[in-house]
């Protein structure tokens, strides 16, 4: 008869989830069937074959329809929000760098001293020439 960790290992592998999270999920389902001796043996703390099938089937169905815990789905939303924020900041950084580089090119065509331009831009003088020529 399979144990909770064994069922959790199977679920973790099948559904590509964290093993500890899978144990928690299995325990939620097992808590609902502990009073049924046809599904769970409380003395050995093992599921019967029928209990194991019931739990793995229920978990598979919940993943199939996207019925995951509210906390877990909230994490997915937060990850997506963080990625959108990161991508937006990356675009802003690229735009700011392009603007800075254009200003450096313009400044290098004036009487401004190269050390002063480099200091204002936060780069070394050698980098000014790379920027002027569009390298790196």
DSSP states of 28-50: HHHHTTTT-TTTEETTTTEE-HH
Handedness of CA 80, 75, 68, 7 (dihedral sign): positive
pLDDT band at 8 (very low <50, low <70, confident <90, very high): very high
Where in the sequence is the domain holding 113, given as residue range(s)?
A: 73-132
Q: How far apart are CA 120 and CA 99, in angstroms?
A: 14
- 98 pLDDT more than 60: yes
The pLDDT value recorded for residue 48 is 93
Q: At what angle are helices 114-121 and 70-107 packed, to 10 degrees?
A: 170
Same domain, 9 and 63: yes
- On whether the CB atoms of residues 55 and 30 are closer than 8 A, the answer is yes
Per-residue pLDDT tens digits for 57-71: 998 888 887 776 656
- Which of 50, 68, 86 represents a domain boundary (last residue)? 68
Same domain, 112 and 92: yes
Q: Report the domain count for the chain.
A: 2
Please give the structure tokens belonging to residue 56.
Answer: 């793995």
Same domain, 8 and 64: yes
Q: How much is the pTM?
A: 0.52
């Amino acid at each position: 008869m399979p144990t909770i960790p064994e069922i959790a290992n199977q679920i973790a592998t099948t559904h590509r989830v964290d093993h500890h999270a899978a144990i928690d999920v299995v325990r939620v389902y097992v808590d609902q069937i502990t009073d049924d001796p046809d599904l769970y043996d409380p003395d050995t703390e093992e599921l019967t074959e029928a209990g194991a099938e019931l739990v793995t089937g229920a978990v598979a169905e919940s993943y199939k329809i996207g019925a995951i815990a509210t906390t877990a789905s909230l994490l997915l939303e937060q990850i997506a929000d963080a990625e959108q924020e990161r991508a937006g900041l990356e675009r802003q950084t690229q735009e700011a760098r392009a603007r800075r580089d254009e200003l450096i090119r313009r400044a290098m065509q004036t009487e401004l001293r190269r050390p002063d331009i480099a200091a204002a831009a936060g780069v070394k003088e050698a980098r000014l020439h790379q920027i002027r020529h569009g390298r790196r």
